Structure 1
Amino acid sequence: MSTPSHQSAPKHVSATSTPGHTAEEEQITAVAATLVLAYGLHPADITRIPEGTATDNYAVVDQTGRRHFAKVYRTREHLHLERTSVELSEYCADGGVATARATRTREHELIEAHGPLPMSLWSYVPHTASAEGGLAGARWAAVGTAMGRLHRRLSSHPAAVPTREPGATVCDMAASRHRFERLIHAYQHKSRLGKFETWALQAAHERQTILGDIERALASLPRLTVQVLHGDMAGPNVLFKDNEVAAIVDFRPPASGYLAWEIARLGCDPKSVLDNSAESWLTGYTDLTLAYRDANPSASADDLVSSLRVGCAAMLCSAFPLSVPVERPHIVDAAMEAYGRVRHEAALILLDRLPTMEEALRDTLR
Structure 2
Amino acid sequence: MPATPDTAVVAALDGAYGLPAADLERLPIGQVTVNYRAQLPDGTVLFVKHYQDGADLAGERAAIAQSRRAGEHGVPVAALRPARDGTSITGHTGTAVSVWEWVEGQTVEEGLDAAQQHAAGRALGTIHRAFADHPLSAAPSAKLDKWLNPDLAKLGADVDRLLAAIAGKGERDDFDEQAARTLWERREVLHRVPELIAGLPELTTQVLHGDYSAVNLLFDGGRLAAVLDFLPPAPFVVAYELGRIAFDPRAVALHEDWITSGTRLVGAYLEANPHLPAADVRACARAALLQLVTSLYGVKQHYVRPGLLQGDLDAFWLLRHEAAQRLLNGLEEVEAALEKEAAAH
Residue among 88, 93, 99 paired with 2:77? 99
Equivalent residue number for residue 297 of structure 1: 274
Any gaps of 5 or more consecutive residues in structure 2?
A: none
What do the CA deviations read for 1:7-33 (whole angstroms, capped 9, x no partner)? Answer: xxxxxxxxxxxx9xx97xx54443333
Contact 2:211–2:229 at 8 Å: present in 1 too? Answer: yes
SS at match of 2:138: coil
Equivalent residue number for residue 57 of structure 1: 35
CA distance in 1, matches of 2:135, 2:121: 24
Q: Larger deviation: 225-234 or 194-203?
A: 194-203
Matches within 5 A, 1:86-165: 86-126=64-104, 128-161=105-138
Call closer, same or farther: CA 1:181–1:45 in 2, change over 3 Å: closer
- Look up the equivalent residue of 1:254 and give its one-letter code: P
Equivalent residue number for residue 39 of structure 1: 17
CA distance in 2, matches of 1:46, 1:330: 22
Tell whether 2:305 aligns with 1:328.
yes
- Look up the equivalent residue of 1:243 and give its one-letter code: G
CA distance in 2, matches of 1:260, 1:275: 23
Using the TM superposition, give the Cα deviation of residue 196 of structure 1 relative to its aligned residue in structure 2, in angstroms: 3.5
SS at match of 2:19: coil
Contact 1:227–1:258 at 8 Å: present in 2 too? Answer: yes
Using the TM superposition, give the Cα deviation of residue 308 of structure 1 relative to its aligned residue in structure 2, in angstroms: 0.8
SS at match of 2:336: helix
Contact 2:132–2:206 at 8 Å: present in 1 too? Answer: yes
Equivalent residue number for residue 153 of structure 2: 177
Q: Larger deviation: 44-53 or 152-161?
A: 44-53
Contact 1:312–1:350 at 8 Å: present in 2 too? Answer: yes
What do the CA deviations read for 1:187-238 (whole angstroms, capped 9, x no partner)? Answer: 3365337354454344334323322323112212211111111111221111
Using the TM superposition, give the Cα deviation of residue 271 of structure 1 relative to its aligned residue in structure 2, in angstroms: 1.7
- Look up the equivalent residue of 2:246 and give its one-letter code: G
CA distance in 1, matches of 2:178, 2:271: 43
Q: Larger deviation: 117-126 or 183-192?
A: 183-192
CA distance in 2, matches of 1:323, 1:44: 37
Number of residue pairs aligned between Structure 1 and Structure 2: 339
What do the CA deviations read for 1:140-189 (whole angstroms, capped 9, x no partner)? Answer: 11110111111111112223327799x9974433x133122233145336
CA distance in 2, matches of 1:329, 1:69: 25
SS at match of 1:68: strand
Give the CA RMSD over aligned residues: 2.8
Equivalent residue number for residue 199 of structure 2: 220
Call closer, same or farther: CA 1:237–1:146 in 2, change over 3 Å: same
- Look up the equivalent residue of 2:153 and give its one-letter code: R
Equivalent residue number for residue 287 of structure 2: 310
TM-score by length of 1: 0.83
- Look up the equivalent residue of 1:251 and give its one-letter code: F
Residue among 248, 261, 272 paired with 2:240? 261
- Look up the equivalent residue of 1:177 and give its one-letter code: A
Tell whether 2:254 aligns with 1:275.
yes
- Look up the equivalent residue of 1:257 and give its one-letter code: F
Residue among 187, 199, 202 paired with 2:163? 187
- Look up the equivalent residue of 1:39 and give its one-letter code: Y
Identity across aligned pairs (percent)?
31
Call closer, same or farther: CA 1:64–1:329 in 2, change over 3 Å: closer
Contact 2:131–2:137 at 8 Å: present in 1 too? Answer: no
CA distance in 1, matches of 2:146, 2:162: 27
Call closer, same or farther: CA 1:176–1:197 in 2, change over 3 Å: farther
Call closer, same or farther: CA 1:187–1:332 in 2, change over 3 Å: farther
Q: Larger deviation: 244-253 or 80-89?
A: 80-89
Tell whether 2:315 aligns with 1:338.
yes
Residue among 43, 47, 54 paired with 1:69? 47
SS at match of 2:30: coil
CA distance in 2, matches of 1:293, 1:147: 9
- Look up the equivalent residue of 1:218 and give its one-letter code: I
Matches within 5 A, 1:194-273: 194=172, 195-273=174-252
Contact 1:263–1:307 at 8 Å: present in 2 too? Answer: yes
Call closer, same or farther: CA 1:184–1:109 in 2, change over 3 Å: same
SS at match of 1:138: helix
Matches within 5 A, 1:11-30: 26-30=4-8
Call closer, same or farther: CA 1:120–1:163 in 2, change over 3 Å: same
Contact 2:117–2:264 at 8 Å: present in 1 too? Answer: yes
Using the TM superposition, give the Cα deviation of residue 65 of structure 1 relative to its aligned residue in structure 2, in angstroms: 3.4
